[in-house]
Structure 1
Amino acid sequence: MAGTKPVSASQVIMTELVLPSHTNAIGSIFGGTIMAWIDIAAAIAAQRHSGREVVTASIDRLDFVAPVYKGWVVNMKASVNFTSRTSMEVGVRVDAENPKTGETFHTASAYTTFVALGSNGKPIEIPGLELETDTDRRRFEAGKKRREMRLAQKKS
């Protein structure tokens, strides 16, 4: 698949309500639930960009900045930051919202890598990124460096 697609064409905004089944004994959300939601939001962005089925290749370090409690709202923003031949890095920012106070705050961020698959289940070439804004360009360069670090870690 040749050509490019703008970053804006594949961005995802996903919202979830924290239900009792998502929480632990102290009423805060399970980290694994946040991880699953990150993976889903990132996969949607990767599929939109590639126009293909995708699989998760990696999720970089994930730090939980603040707890999220039952009844709160979780907002995730996912964006393709960098593309190579068959893979792409998708950044996801997670913010929590306390509906009683209206306060919102950063909860977690992650960088994920996805590979696009062809009909034979093998990696397939994807479009490049059309960088429209300074933010797109900054994220692309940072994603390129992270990819180089990931590849270097694989070799060691």
Structure 2
Amino acid sequence: MTDNYQKTNSSRVTLSQLMLPSHSNFSGKIHGGYLLSLMDQIAFACGSKFSGLYCVTASVDRVDFLNPIEVGELVTLKASVNYVGNSSMVIGIRVDAQNIQTGKVTHCNSSYFTMIAKDAQGNNIRVPRLILTSKEDVLRYMKTIERLKLRHSYAELCTDFNGDIQQAINSITEKGDVKVQLS
């Protein structure tokens, strides 16, 4: 069987939205949950556009809110497929906010969503392979491999205590910076 190949630029999606008072939190900044919702939407659109299939969110790598977003700013999210597995796609997302009056653009966050392609019955289905056409594509692909390796090594470092509370307490208190006082 010959695999289907797609260029990364066939996955690119841009979404811009004006931030309204209804999107703000109690401190008057744009609510992080609202921004995460927009990021999930663009990850879905990007993965679906690339694969031609329905996609679901499998995981979200670290999301750091680097700079607050103000009401009245124009938020632009850009997404592209950086890496593909069998049925999974790692979608890179960049979020910028622009002050419309001054034109100043601020990078607010970057994140990586792993999306899984599904068939009509809800089963995982193979996605197209990637064609990398630029140095930037190659670097994004390699950085994703590094992040995936780190994620897997971290998972191996985590000890499974199988419900053994004493083993868990011993591990926690080894460092000496935590006390466990069970009642």
Which TM-score band applies after superposition, normalised by the shorter structure? Answer: over 0.9
Higher strand share: 1
Give the TM-score of the pair, scaled to structure 1: 0.95
Structure 2 residue 126 is matched with structure 1 residue 117: no
Aligned to 2:130: 129
**CA distances 1:97-156 after superposition (whole Å, capped 9, x unpaired):** 011111101001101100000111010001111000000011111112222333444454
Matched residue type, 1:57: A
Aligned length: 156
Distance 2:28 2:4 in 1: 47
Unaligned segments of structure 1, at least 5 residues:
none
Q: Which has the larger radius of gyration?
A: 2
Structure 2 residue 148 is matched with structure 1 residue 143: no
Is the contact made by 1:85 and 1:125 (CA closer than 8 Å) also made in structure 2? yes
Aligned to 2:181: none
Shift of 1:27: 1.5
Structure 2 residue 28 is matched with structure 1 residue 27: yes
Aligned to 1:3: 4
Aligned to 1:63: 64
Matched residue type, 2:148: R
Distance 2:106 2:65 in 1: 12
Higher relative contact order (CA 8 A, sep 6+): 1
Is the contact made by 1:2 and 1:126 (CA closer than 8 Å) also made in structure 2? no
Aligned to 1:103: 104
Matched residue type, 2:86: R
Give the TM-score of the pair, scaled to structure 2: 0.81
Aligned to 1:45: 46
